[in-house]
């Protein structure tokens, strides 16, 4: 399977939504579901809690969907979201509200900044849904401190789409990035996964089909 750039991936997303008329919510649902399936394969046993770290972009929405499916599988899940509800994209906000209706354990905004270290320490698996493929430059606070803490916590980490802080185009890390044991990436592997620091930070890469239509040249 070919490795794509961020620009190419955005074009695949655009075409899926605008030309094939697949709602963005469906793509997010599929991404979160596939991520939950991978997380269930590496389900923690002691402790059995999953901590889902979320930012405020669509990557956070993938994390919210993943958290919902893990809750439905009977796991204990804590969501730690560093944005405000008003900061979220419409699709991410909708999935956030679903979690609130499920009475999920959620730390949001200031509560997330105060409690993330406690929740990471208490988890058997941490899911990185902080930043997506579009990040440019070094992580900013508070995410830089969160990633620093996570990397020193020695917890199994599953990154969604790309480890936060890794440049998905060239595999470089400016400052720091999440060191994942497993990365579940959506639709196509990204070019940065096989360049520079990419292999070190991605760990095992699982490519998840989220139903983006393929043309003949895209299937190899």
Q: Which residues lie closer than 8 Å to 217 by C-beta, 6 or more apart?
A: none
Q: What is the pLDDT of residue 17?
A: 96
Rounded (10°) angle between helices 90-101 and 58-72: 30
Give the pLDDT confidence of 43-71 residue by residue, as tens digits: 877 778 999 999 988 999 999 999 999 99
Q: What is the pLDDT of residue 59?
A: 95
Domains of the chain, first to last: 6-209 (3.40.50.10260)
Is residue 163 within 8 Å of residue 177, measured between CB atoms?
Answer: yes
Is residue 164 within 8 Å of residue 143, measured between CB atoms?
Answer: yes
Q: What is the pLDDT of residue 136?
A: 78
Query: What is the number of other CB atoms lying within 10 angstroms of the CB of residue 119?
Result: 19
| pLDDT value at 125 more than 90 | yes
Is residue 17 within 8 Å of residue 91, measured between CB atoms?
Answer: no
| Percent of the chain's residues with pLDDT above 90 | 86
Q: 200-208, long-range: CB within 8 Å, 24+ apart, which pairs?
A: 201/163, 201/165, 201/166, 201/173, 201/177, 202/159, 202/162, 202/163, 202/166, 203/159, 203/179, 206/38, 206/182, 207/1, 208/30, 208/31, 208/34, 208/35, 208/38, 208/184
- Interatomic CA distance for residues 73 and 136, integer angstroms: 35
Is residue 166 within 8 Å of residue 173, measured between CB atoms?
Answer: yes
Q: What is the pLDDT of residue 135?
A: 80
| pLDDT value at 13 more than 80 | yes
Burial of 86 (0-12, 13-18, 19+ CB in 10 A): exposed
């Amino acid at each position: 399977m070919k490795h794509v750039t961020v620009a190419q991936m955005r074009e695949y997303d655009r075409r899926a939504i605008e030309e094939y008329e697949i709602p963005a919510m469906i793509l997010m649902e599929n991404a979160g579901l596939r991520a939950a399936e991978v997380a269930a394969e590496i389900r923690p046993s002691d402790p059995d809690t999953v901590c889902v770290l979320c930012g405020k972009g669509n990557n956070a929405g993938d994390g919210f969907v993943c958290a919902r499916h893990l809750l439905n599988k009977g796991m204990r899940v804590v969501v730690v979201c560093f944005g405000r509800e008003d900061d979220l994209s419409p699709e991410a906000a909708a999935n956030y509200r679903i979690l609130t209706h499920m009475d999920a354990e959620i730390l949001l905004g200031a509560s997330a900044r105060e409690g993330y270290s406690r929740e990471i320490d208490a988890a058997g698996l941490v899911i990185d849904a902080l930043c997506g493929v579009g990040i440019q430059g070094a992580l900013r606070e508070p995410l830089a401190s969160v990633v620093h803490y996570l990397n020193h916590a020695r917890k199994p980490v599953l990154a969604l789409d790309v480890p936060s802080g890794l440049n998905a185009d060239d595999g470089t890390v400016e400052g720091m990035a999440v060191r994942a044991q497993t990365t579940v990436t959506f639709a196509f592997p990204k070019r940065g996964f096989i360049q520079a620091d990419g292999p070190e930070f991605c760990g095992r890469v699982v490519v998840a089909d989220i139903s983006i239509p393929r043309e003949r040249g895209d299937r190899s």
